[in-house]
Amino acid sequence: MTGWGRPEFTASAGTRVHAAVLGPADAPDLVCVHGWGCSHRYFGPLARRLSGRFRVVAVDLPGFGSTLGPAEPLDVRGLSTALGDWMRATGRGGAALVGNSAGCQVIADLAVHSPELLGPVVLSGPSVDRRARSYPRQFGRILVDMRWERVGLTRLLVRDYLRCGPRRLRATARFLLADPVERKLGHIRTPAVVVRGSRDTIVPRAWTRECTALLPQGYSAEIPGAGHILNYSAPAELARITCSLLDRTGSEDR
């Protein structure tokens, strides 16, 4: 129904972490980390395009999607610790990571305290632009961006947001806006690509340029005509860019 394979549940991070899985069991793992208020669900289109080569695992961070979270919403460090815990518990240390939007912040934070868990990294639409860290700006930009997204995304996001609940959404947004991600990107020492859609209003080109420059082994890519949620609205392109990164690093033969 959802296009995913059998779900995976793992006792870790003090909860029962849910991950959606797609792809052959013997293929190398590729872990997807969702953004603010989202879940594994919007990674579906990307997963379908990568599942021939990888075992795509889209995890729901505590409090999002099908993973219950603590009553108190987690901050960025809390989320990245949970991600790290889950990666250790499932033996996925060193797997390739694909983050979208705030998922990139979680990955960058993970790199600060557990760099050994990171494989090659795809940062797609990394948030939050240093020059626009305020609620009105971010919400304004999100609304404008929807114009460039594929139909169906809004419905999917609204469901995820409702499931997450307004309290957690608000608290998480506050943490994300205060997160100095530019001071952490330098810790991602593995090969990494920063991807943005050329029409992305949330993540301007100047910002991804800055992010790329901070990565020790980073380069950038840009998908013409695409918006912010590349894994949903430009999945074929993002899949190809992901494959090129992994071809370069040869991590497939890990």
Partner 1 sequence: MEPSPAGYFDGMRIKDRVVVVTGASSGIGRAAALALAGHDCALVLTARREGALQQVAEECTARGGQAIVVPADVTDADAVQQVARQALDRFGRIDVWINAAAVTVFGPFQDTPLQDFRRVVDVNLMGYVHGCRAALAVLREQGRGVLINVSSIVGVIAQPYTPAYGTTKFAIRALSTSLRQELWLDGARGVKVCTVLPATIDTPLFQQAANYTGREVRAMPPVYTPERVAHTIVSLVRRPRREVVVGPMGRSLVLQSKFTPGFVEKLMAFQVHRRHLSRKHPAPAGSGNLHEPAAGTGSARGGWHGGRRTALRRTATAAMLLGAAVASASRRQR
Which helix (DSSP H) or strand (DSSP E) does residue 130 occupy?
A: none
Q: Using the rule CB under 8 A, is 213 a contact of partner 1?
A: no
Other beta carbons less than 10 A from residue 60's beta carbon: 25
Pick from 164, 237, 246, 251: which binds partner 1 (CB under 8 A)?
A: 237
Q: Using the rule CB under 8 A, is 203 a contact of partner 1?
A: no
Nearer to partner 1 by C-beta: 29 or 237?
A: 237
The token duo for 211 is 């992010």
**What angle is formed at CA 204 by the lines to CA 156 and CA 75, rounded to 5 degrees?**
60
User: Contact region for partner 1 (CB under 8 A) — 4-12, 164-172, 173-181, 230-238?
Assistant: 230-238
User: Contact region for partner 1 (CB under 8 A) — 57-65, 112-120, 166-174, 193-201?
Assistant: 193-201
Phi-psi label, residue 249: left if phi above 0, alpha if psi -120 to 50, beta otherwise: alpha
DSSP secondary structure of 171-211: HHHHHHHT--GGGTGGG--S-EEEEEETT-SSS-HHHHHHH
Q: Using the rule CB under 8 A, is 121 a contact of partner 1?
A: no
Please state, in angstroms and as integers, the Cα–Cα distance from residue 251 to each residue in 49, 56, 83, following that order.
18, 15, 21
Q: Using the rule CB under 8 A, is 48 a contact of partner 1?
A: no
Helices (H), the chain: 44-50, 76-89, 102-113, 135-145, 153-164, 166-177, 205-214, 230-233, 235-249
Pick from 223, 229, 232, 246: which binds partner 1 (CB under 8 A)?
A: 223
Pick from 204, 210, 240, 249: which binds partner 1 (CB under 8 A)?
A: 240
Q: Using the rule CB under 8 A, is 238 a contact of partner 1?
A: yes
Q: Using the rule CB under 8 A, is 198 a contact of partner 1?
A: yes
Binding mask 125-154 for partner 1 (x = CB under 8 A): -------------------------x----
Residues that bind partner 1 (CB under 8 A): 150, 195, 198-199, 219, 221-226, 233-234, 236-238, 240-241, 244
